[in-house]
Amino acid sequence: MIDMFPLEASVGQLLFLGVFTFLLGIFAGMVGVALGAVRLPIMLALGFNPVIAAGTNLGVTILGGSAAALPHWRDGRVVGRVVVVIGVPAVVGALLGGLFADDVKAWVLLALIAGLTIVSSAISFWQWWREVRTAEKTQAAEPSRTPSNVDSKKGVRLNSRNQSLYGGIVLIIGLVGGAVGLILAVLRFPILVNVLRMDPRYAAGTNNAIGVLAGVFGFVGHAVNMNFDVAVLVVMGITGMAGSFIGARQTGRVSAATMRLMIALLLAGTSPIVVVRIFSEYPN
């Protein structure tokens, strides 16, 4: 079992993490993506044990996502059917991943984190480029081409055949994410927008709700083994909640292309931090 207070973080570190999490939370709440993949490399750069960082990061995700959930729910941006279909396998995967994270070597966890961060960045860049090329004219014409099995308001394409496929994909995402301390909302977002054809505003609210559920069960898996830092969780959790609440109220005021580009740049900028930690942990 790992000590609950492995770092005894200094006041300066806690202040830095608090301010950083608040600012990041504003953006995360706005786009409905927890951005744990950005927080986690920063925690690793400060010397956190990867498993402790994973558990703590999931706890911060829960608190921040819960604060953002109220504005999303109040404004009707949470689609219950999608939360069930996509959320249940995400929850199961996150719980199992969190429970067995202790059995994975630190450098393996770091390699998974780095790989997923890079993939998330690439997906976000691709979404941004596609959004730019599509332009406003194509977006305006899209409702007239909406298939009959798509909700014209919320843009949801679900049927009995594709539910199992999407559920299986999200189960795997949840399993890996639970182990490394990420809810991987960035990987789910393309499914919601590009596959299920959801309006980005509804995708943001729905993805946030799924992320909170996955985060809760992933954190439970880590908490069983006491894999979290209480002091850091409290500081980052409170500031993250404040930022996420503010950001969620701004959803829709920033263009989808701008949001995706910012996510991509944040992920690309933090990926090298994890890569450096891989070499410091290998082959331990």
Q: Is residue 276 part of a domain?
A: yes
pLDDT (tens digit per residue) in 136-146 = 555 555 544 44
Is residue 5 in some structural domain?
no
Looking at the 3D structure of the chain, how many domains does it have?
Answer: 1
Is the pLDDT reported for residue 272 higher than 60?
yes
Rounded to whole angstroms, the Cα distance separating 47 from 110 reads 13
- Res 164: pLDDT: 66
- For 69, list phi and psi in degrees, rounded to 5: -65, -35
Closest to 270 in 3D by CA, of 52, 55, 127, 110 = 110
Other beta carbons within 10 angstroms of residue 215's beta carbon come to 32
> Does residue 257 have a pLDDT over 50?
yes
Average pLDDT on 215-244 reads 89
pLDDT at 162: 57
> Tell me, what's the pLDDT at 163?
61
Domain membership flag for residue 108:
yes
In a domain, 228, yes or no: yes
What is d(CA 284, CA 240) in angstroms, rounded to the nearest whole number?
32
The chain-wide mean pLDDT, for the chain, equals: 76
Q: Is the pLDDT of residue 147 over 60?
A: no
Question: What are 20's two structure tokens?
Answer: 């950083």
Query: What pLDDT is stored for residue 153 in this prediction?
Result: 44
User: What local confidence, expressed as pLDDT, does residue 60 receive?
Assistant: 92
Beta bridge partners of 150: 157
User: Does residue 238 carry a pLDDT above 80?
Assistant: yes
Residue type at 280 in one-letter notation: S
Between 281 and 205, where is the model more confident? 205
- C-alpha 34 chain-centroid distance: 4
Q: Is the pLDDT of residue 34 over 90?
A: no
pLDDT at 20 > cutoff 90: yes
Q: How confident is the model at residue 150 (pLDDT cuts 50, 70, 90)?
A: very low
* Beta pairing partners, 90: none
* Residue 222 vs residue 193, higher pLDDT: 222
pLDDT given for residue 239 in this prediction = 95
Q: What is the pLDDT of residues 70-119, one digit of tens each?
A: 888 888 888 888 888 777 888 888 888 778 777 777 777 778 777 877 87
Flag whether 4 is in a domain.
no
pTM for this prediction: 0.70
Is residue 145 domain-resident? yes
Q: Check: CB of residue 229 under 8 Å from CB of residue 5.
A: yes
- The domain of 275 spans 11-281
Q: Which residue has the higher pLDDT, 158 or 251?
A: 251
Percent of the chain with pLDDT over 70: 79
Phi/psi of residue 256, each to 5°? -60, -40
- What pLDDT score does 144 carry? 45
Q: Looking at the predicted structure, is the pLDDT value of residue 252 above 90?
A: no
Residue 2 within any structural domain of the chain: no
For residue 27, tell me if it sits in a domain: yes
The pLDDT assigned to 151 comes to 46
